[in-house]
Amino acid sequence: MNAGAVMVKAEAVRKSYGRFEALRGVDIEVARGEVVVIVGASGSGKSTLLRCINHLEKIDGGLLWVNGELVGYQQKGDKLYELNDRNIARHRESIGVVFQHFNLFLNMTALENVMAGPLQVKKEKRDSARASAVQLLERVGLKDKADAYPAQLSGGQQQRVAIARALAMQPKLMLFDEPTSALDPELVKDVLDVMRDLAQQGMTMIVVTHEMGFAREVADRVVFMDEGAIVESGSAAEVISKPKHARTKAFMSKIL
């Protein structure tokens, strides 16, 4: 891929927690508009990689770029200097993150949750932020729940509000970290439908999930990670249905 076509690029990214190596020299590129699904066993480094892309975790080695800019650092000559909190926050504005747990503000309505970022971070006018938030809630099928508080919403509805809240910042990249794993099975479909819609509209997405049906249908590429490294990468048909590596085969035989 040429540089302009790349949204995310990782080169030899390493991350350790004490003696545990969570990421061991990860290399990956994600093109603009591409949907990449990352799969693997618990502890394989999937979520850590997402957190590093958003600089929620500092990498211990290698380099990471999002939208052509180094994540968390500025390069001067051969040296890297960590950005201050203000500039890190500015970088994060272009990256939407949806976690396993919804992390909504419990004292705010669904509408207020979606408006919070544009009002507090982007300093948008209230009328504009409200109009956009109403449109986003409608987009995720929750316009009628605008005045409901999180405690009045199901898990699936809360997760859709979380997606709308992330979209309110007009991100160039969306990261999903097992967004349906905390949901009851009957609530999963509504969340995945919203994600399918995002993919169809050209949003660049990196999704950590065990939803293989979603991966088969939506992913441009499936990446299998094991012990902090990328073991196999290819189309859903290749990685899920006809894996080449023994570790991938063993994982798929259990999860399918």
CA distance 91 to 89: 5
Express as a percent the part of the chain with pLDDT over 90: 88
Round to whole Å and give the CA distance between 174 and 160: 14
Average pLDDT of span 227-237? 97
Judged by phi (left if over 0) then psi (alpha if -120 to 50, else beta), residue 76 lies in beta
Query: Mean pLDDT, to the nearest integer, of 36-57?
Result: 96
The token pair at 62 is 């290698």
Q: Which helix (H) or strand (E) holds 206?
A: strand 204-208
Percent of the chain with pLDDT over 70: 99
Predicted confidence (pLDDT) per residue in 79-92, tens digit? 888 899 989 988 88
Confidence of residue 77 (pLDDT cuts 50, 70, 90): confident
Cα gap 143→27, rounded to integer Å:
41
Interval 55-84 mean pLDDT: 91
* Residue 78 pLDDT class (50, 70, 90 cuts): confident
Examine the pLDDT at 104 and tell me if it is beyond 90. yes
The pTM for the full model equals: 0.95
In 3D space, the residue among 18, 19, 37 whose CA is nearest the CA of residue 28 turns out to be 37
